[in-house]
């Protein structure tokens, strides 16, 4: 017995040792090669970040990386998950959440040690905002920013969460809730995580909506009428809202209703109702705080369900888009207010976003959202103004002792006794209400405006300007200038459009491609998205129309060819980002108006315009122009595509002689942009080709607009 015990112990020890070796071998096989940390991961890369959210984090202790395909290789080598913080400086909560991260040393340490942290600005990487919308829908949550997205090193979606962050929130708790489980699983078994995310990604690919189907003319006409009827039915005249627009300034809906009111393809009774609705709706919105009476700028979104409380973030893109759309509204309904707002928006954009080199940035240096300081008590207004000025401004803005915010805008009475400023009535009406001489009203308005603006700037100092311009706002401002030229006939607007377009082409063209921002932004993250190309094509076509210079038409055609060749998936669908410039592996297309005009809608308009100018677009884009949005979709999110169908269906073409006189050229150039194409023809006389197939002529340049039969102010 004395020999049995040692033998048993030896056997047990041998078995245990062998088992441990097997477990160690299994763990080693599971672990793979040792992690390799790239030098870029040792420091914050935002010192050369694009303007906006990224540049605002250049001093962050987090080792933020750029959104580029190379992050997947670094994540693979480091054997880490990619943690992407997706947002924009114009969305409340994004900058505040990033500052909360920086203030938490433990969270900073975890991000740097356990993840590969990537900072993504949807203003630059538009595809990430579209992905956020798609993934939020998958978990039945509304999309909001910041949006937390975790990717595997292979680029597959692992987990995600839209975050409604506000000051005082515990971001660490939000972060833990979104990442703890998956981080633990990754530590215990990364291969399981890779397999699972790969399988989920493959299923997600199968659910992505197929490209829009091409339809014949009759089907497109039927869609145009039915979509217009549905859009009209969503307007509630009692409360001045259009259901489905959410909190965004409804520029697309206003332009679409205005277009329908003048479209010969729309039945007369429906066109009349559209005119009534857009006239009333535009007055309701344009005489609201969404248009700042102090500096003329337009706000892009509101808080709550009324137009009383705009969110304070404003961008150049919003101002330029508003100007282009409101000029169309002015031309359609003949009201003065849309043009006044368009002029004010462009003036504000020039004051706030113009760069010394003539380009435009989209926003100033980001700052945290401060909503309360933009509101006023009655006592503050009285203290800032003379008695007469105060009387006029209080009447103009509906100022009240208890505040003028509708309950829908402030249901919790968070801003009790505070007032938002907006021209709720005309200046004449305000003077009568305040019992002032109407002749004095303009002077009192202007002197009061300057005093109130100065008082607001003491509470809300203007943040510093951005360091450089960007492609999207610059091209969008070209279109705004071109639109103002057609509305006013002032040559200075055309001169501004040409100078800006030439500067933008020089700065943002890289071989046959476009970049969103010029160096020192790294080339790997500067690649422009399809949306920027759509804006550049629109700007080039606008210039071709107001100058009759074929150089711009040809450049628009070249850009359209680049889009058709570079921005398409293997199955031929339009995608938002070139595979060479994004880690996202989903073939995402910007098809609905989630943030702004959609890429698909703008491209449809551009294709229709190229055809009207005698420049056939590439087959892929021509197919897009003849396609329809998905069946059953809410028209309010595809108004740009509805406009494209309308413009393609009802566009008149003005053909000038081969060598037209300056008078004929100017008369043609000043025609509205949306429904009238102008080009140099081969005949000796001016010929007007109408949408119904008939032709007409104009005897003199002064008769041209009437002969075309287009919308007239």
Count of CB atoms situated within 10 Å of the CB of 262 = 23
Tell me the two tokens of residue 89.
């400086």
Tokens representing 469 are 């311009």
Residue-range domain boundaries for the chain:
1-32, 39-207, 217-370+466-650, 372-459, 654-708
Long-range contacts, 533-536 (Cβ 8 Å, 24+): 533/559, 533/562, 533/563, 533/567, 534/563, 534/597, 534/599, 534/602, 534/603, 534/606, 535/471, 535/472, 535/475, 535/476, 535/479, 535/602, 536/471, 536/475, 536/504
pLDDT of residue 239: 66
Residue 167 has pLDDT above 90, yes or no: no
Contact partners, residue 555, CB within 8 Å, separation at least 6: 505, 540
Main-chain phi, psi angles of 114, to 5 degrees: -110, -20
Which letter does DSSP use for residue 701 in this model?
Answer: G
**Pairwise CA distance, residues 575 & 130, whole Å:** 11
Contact 93, 145 (CB under 8 A): yes
What is the value of pTM for the model shown? 0.93
Mean pLDDT of the chain: 90
pLDDT 10s digits, 106-138: 999 999 999 999 999 999 999 999 999 999 999
Mean pLDDT of 335-361: 97
Band (367; pLDDT cuts 50, 70, 90): confident
Are residues 366 and 463 in contact, defined by beta-carbon separation less than 8 angstroms?
A: yes
Cα-Cα end-to-end distance for the chain:
113
The whole-number pLDDT of residue 318 equals: 96
Helical residues (DSSP H) of 32-124, grouped into ranges: 70-78, 94-102, 105-114
Q: What is the dihedral of CA 494, 498, 503, 509, to 10 degrees?
A: 130
pLDDT tens track for 173-187: 889 888 889 999 999
Please work out, in degrees rounded to the nearest 5, the angle formed at the alpha carbon of residue 354 by the alpha carbons of 534 and 670. Answer: 60
Per-residue pLDDT tens over the stretch 61-106: 999 999 999 999 999 999 999 999 999 998 889 999 999 999 999 9
471 or 17: which leads in pLDDT: 471
Of the candidates 68, 480, 429, the one whose C-alpha atom is nearest the C-alpha of residue 283 is 429
39-207 is a CATH 3.40.30.10 domain: yes
Model confidence pLDDT, tens digit, residues 408-452: 888 888 999 999 999 999 999 999 999 999 999 999 999 999 999
357 pLDDT higher than 90 = yes
The whole-angstrom separation of Cα 504 and Cα 17 is 71
pLDDT band at 262; cut points 50, 70, 90: confident
CA distance linking residue 291 with residue 652, whole number of Å: 33
Mapped onto helix, strand or coil, the DSSP state of residue 25 is helix
CB neighbours (10 Å) of residue 251?
26
**Rounded mean pLDDT of 210-231?**
91
H helix or E strand, kind and range, residue 285: helix 268-286
Determine the Cα–Cα distance for residues 320 and 323; give it in Å rounded to an integer. Answer: 5
- Write the DSSP string, 151-200: E-TTS-EEEEEE----TT--HHHHHHHHHHHHHHHHHH-HHHHHHHHHHH
Mean pLDDT of 543-563: 96
d(CA 482, CA 356): 21
User: Would you state the structure tokens that stand for residue 497, as one six-digit string?
Assistant: 């459009």
Angle between helices 316-333 and 251-261 (to 10 degrees): 20
The answer to whether the beta carbons of residues 674 and 602 sit under 8 Å apart is no
**Tokens describing residue 35:** 């992690």
What does the pLDDT average to over 234-253? Answer: 78
Ranking 198-202, 482-486, 657-661 by mean pLDDT, the lowest is 657-661
Would you call 411 exposed, middle or buried from its count of C-beta atoms within 10 A (0-12, 13-18, 19+)? Answer: exposed
Structure tokens at 151: 């990717």
Confidence of residue 292 (pLDDT cuts 50, 70, 90): very high
Contact 249, 322 (CB under 8 A): yes
**Quick check: 20 pLDDT over 60?**
no
- Of the pLDDT bands very low, low, confident and very high (cuts 50, 70, 90), residue 675 is confident
Question: How far apart are the C-alpha atoms of 5 and 338, rounded to whole Å?
Answer: 99
**For 150, which DSSP code?**
E
Contacts of 107 (CB under 8 A, 6+ apart): 101, 171, 172, 175
CATH of domain 217-370+466-650: 1.50.10.20
DSSP label at residue 56: G
pLDDT the model gives residue 709: 72
Q: What percentage of the chain has pLDDT greater than the value 90?
A: 69
Residue 31 is predicted with a pLDDT of 55
Q: Phi, psi (5° rounding) for residue 116?
A: -110, 100
């Amino acid at each position: 017995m004395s020999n049995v015990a040692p033998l048993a112990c030896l056997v047990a020890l041998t078995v245990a040792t062998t088992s441990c070796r097997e477990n160690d071998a299994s763990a080693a096989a599971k672990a793979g090669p040792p992690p390799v940390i790239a030098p870029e991961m040792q420091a914050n890369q935002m010192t050369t970040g694009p303007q906006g959210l990224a540049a605002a984090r250049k001093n962050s202790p987090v080792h933020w990386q750029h959104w580029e395909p190379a992050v997947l290789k670094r994540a693979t080598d480091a054997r880490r998950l990619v943690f992407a913080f997706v947002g924009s400086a114009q969305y409340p909560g994004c900058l505040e959440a990033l500052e909360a991260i920086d203030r938490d040393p433990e969270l900073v340490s975890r991000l740097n040690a356990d993840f590969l942290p990537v900072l993504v600005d949807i203003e630059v990487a538009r595809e990430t905002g579209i992905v956020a919308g798609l993934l939020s829908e998958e978990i039945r949550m509304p999309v909001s920013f910041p949006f937390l997205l975790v990717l595997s090193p292979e680029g597959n979606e692992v987990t995600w969460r839209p975050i409604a962050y506000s000051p005082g929130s515990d971001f660490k708790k939000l972060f833990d809730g979104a990442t703890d489980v998956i981080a633990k699983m990754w530590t215990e078994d990364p291969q399981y995580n890779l397999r699972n995310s790969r399988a989920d990604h493959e299923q997600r690919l199968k659910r992505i909506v197929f490209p829009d189907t091409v339809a014949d003319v009759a089907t497109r006409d039927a869609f145009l009428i039915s979509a217009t009827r549905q859009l009209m039915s969503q307007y509630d005249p009692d409360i001045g809202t259009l259901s489905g627009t959410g909190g965004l300034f409804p520029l697309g809906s206003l332009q679409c209703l205005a277009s329908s009111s003048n479209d010969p393809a729309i039945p007369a009774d429906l066109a009349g109702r559209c005119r009534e609705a857009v006239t009333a709706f535009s007055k309701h919105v344009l005489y609201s705080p969404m248009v700042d009476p102090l500096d003329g700028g337009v706000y892009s979104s509101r808080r709550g369900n009324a137009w009383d409380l705009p969110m304070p973030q404003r961008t150049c893109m919003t101002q330029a888009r508003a100007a282009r759309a409101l000029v169309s509204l002015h031309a359609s309904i003949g009201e003065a207010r849309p043009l006044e707002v368009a002029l004010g928006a462009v003036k504000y954009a020039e004051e706030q976003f113009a760069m010394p080199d003539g380009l435009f940035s989209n926003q100033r240096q980001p700052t945290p959202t401060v909503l309360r300081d933009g509101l006023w008590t009655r006592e503050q207004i009285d203290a800032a103004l003379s008695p007469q000025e105060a009387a006029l401004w209080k009447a103009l803005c509906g100022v009240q002792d208890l505040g003028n915010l509708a309950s829908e805008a402030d249901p919790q009475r968070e801003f009790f006794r505070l007032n938002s400023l907006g021209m709720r009535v005309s200046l004449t009406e305000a003077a009568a209400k305040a019992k002032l001489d109407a002749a004095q009203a303009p002077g009192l308005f202007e002197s009061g405006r300057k005093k109130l603006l100065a008082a607001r700037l003491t509470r809300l100092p203007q943040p510093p300007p951005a360091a450089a311009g960007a492609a999207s706002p610059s091209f969008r401002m070209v279109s705004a200038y071109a639109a103002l030229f057609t509305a006013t006939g002032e040559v200075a607007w055309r001169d501004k459009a040409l100078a800006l377009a030439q500067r933008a082409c020089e700065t943002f063209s890289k071989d046959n491609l476009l970049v969103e921002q010029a160096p020192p932004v790294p080339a790997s993250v500067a690649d422009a998205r399809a949306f920027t190309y759509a804006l550049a094509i629109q700007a080039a076509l606008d210039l071709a129309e107001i100058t009759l210079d074929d150089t711009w038409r040809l450049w628009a055609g070249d850009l359209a060819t680049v889009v058709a060749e570079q921005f398409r998936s293997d199955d031929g669908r339009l995608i938002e980002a070139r595979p060479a410039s994004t880690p996202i592996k989903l073939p995402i297309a910007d098809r609905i108006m989630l943030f702004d005009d959609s890429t698909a809608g703008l491209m449809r308009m551009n294709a229709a315009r190229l055809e009207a100018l005698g420049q056939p677009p590439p087959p892929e884009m021509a197919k897009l122009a003849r396609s329809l949005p998905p069946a059953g979709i809410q028209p309010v999110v595809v108004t740009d595509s509805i406009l494209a169908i309308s413009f393609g269906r009802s566009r008149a073409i003005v053909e000038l002689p081969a060598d037209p006189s300056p008078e004929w050229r100017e008369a043609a150039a000043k025609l509205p942009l949306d429904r009238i194409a102008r080009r140099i023809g081969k005949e000796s006389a001016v010929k007007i080709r109408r949408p119904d197939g008939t032709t007409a002529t104009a005897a003199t340049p002064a008769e041209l607009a009437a002969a075309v039969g287009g919308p007239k102010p």
